[in-house]
Amino acid sequence: MTHPNQSILALYAGQDLGWFTRRRTERHLAACAECRDEVRAFAPVRDSLAALNELPPLSWNRLAIEMKANIRLGLAAGECVRGEPVAGPFPFGLLSNTRALTACAGAMALVALGLFLQRPTPTAAPAIAADNSVLRATAGGIELNQGGQTLSLLHVRSTDVTYSAGAQGSMRAGYVDSDTGNVTINNLYVQ
């Protein structure tokens, strides 16, 4: 018996096969327990991929405001540096308003894209409802994350740190401050 390859089975599990290939795969699956198991195994992977594909929540209005502000700033900067015509390596007459604006718009589009890509993104998403707050220990301290905004207490003067969690919604990091010699205990709470 010739088994369908992995990609066919994965596409079948995701209901992404065309009619003809789907029918052929169904016929095979009806007789092949091994491939049925493969298809079943793809189901959770498919769910995970669907979750990964979800975009982080974006404030489109805020993004639009930022882009408009950047465009205004760019235009103002253009006005600032335009000044009087001077002799230069390029004939000034070639730089019509249209060309300058086109160049400016291109640069702004680049900057807007940069801003978009640079936006702080949430860290590894835990399987907790998006509206929940999460407390965790990070390399440099303890962190409270609420919808992408974070509050962290850091232990910059020690590497020997003990962490403990409180089921009422708290996280604690205890260390000896190397400058003062005092034990310092940082706590974060979520209500």
Give the nearer residue to another protein in terms of CB position, either 4 or 141: 141
C-alpha pair distances (Å), 173 with each of 48, 88, 90, 149, 160:
32, 63, 63, 20, 10
Kindly identify the residues of this chain, within the stretch 50-69, that bind another protein according to CB under 8 A: 51, 59, 62-63, 66
Minimal distance, residue 53 CB to another protein, in Å? 15
Half-sphere exposure of 49 (CA within 13 A, CB side): 9
Minimum CB distance to another protein smaller for 29 or for 75: 75
Q: Which of 117, 115, 172 is nearest to 143 (CA)?
A: 172
In the complex, what is the shortest distance from the CB of residue 133 to another protein, in angstroms, rounded to a whole number?
6
Of 5-13, 18-26, 35-43, 177-185, the window that binds another protein (rule: CB under 8 A) is 177-185
Taking the least distance from each CB to another protein, the nearer of 41 and 116 is 116
Q: Return the exposure string of 81-108: e unless at least 16 CB atoms fall within 10 Å of the residue's CB, then b.
A: eeeeeeeeeeeeeeeeeeeeeeeeeeeb
* Minimum CB–partner distance for residue 11 and another protein (Å): 22
Q: How far is the CB of 55 from another protein (least distance, A)?
A: 16
- Identified binder of another protein from the candidate list 20, 95, 113, 159, rule CB under 8 A: 95
Which string of b and e fits 60-77 if b means at least 16 CB within 10 Å?
eeeeeebbeebbeebeee
Name the DSSP class of 142. Answer: E
* Beta carbons within 8 Å of 183's beta carbon, 6+ residues apart: 174, 175, 176, 177
Candidate residues 41, 45, 64, 110; the one interacting with another protein per rule CB under 8 A: 110
**C-beta of 20 vs 90, nearer to another protein:** 90
- Contact window for another protein (CB under 8 A) among 4-12, 14-22, 26-34, 163-171: 163-171
Contact 155, 182 (CB under 8 A): no
165 touching another protein, by CB under 8 A: yes
* Residues within window 6-45 making contact with another protein, judged by CB under 8 A: none
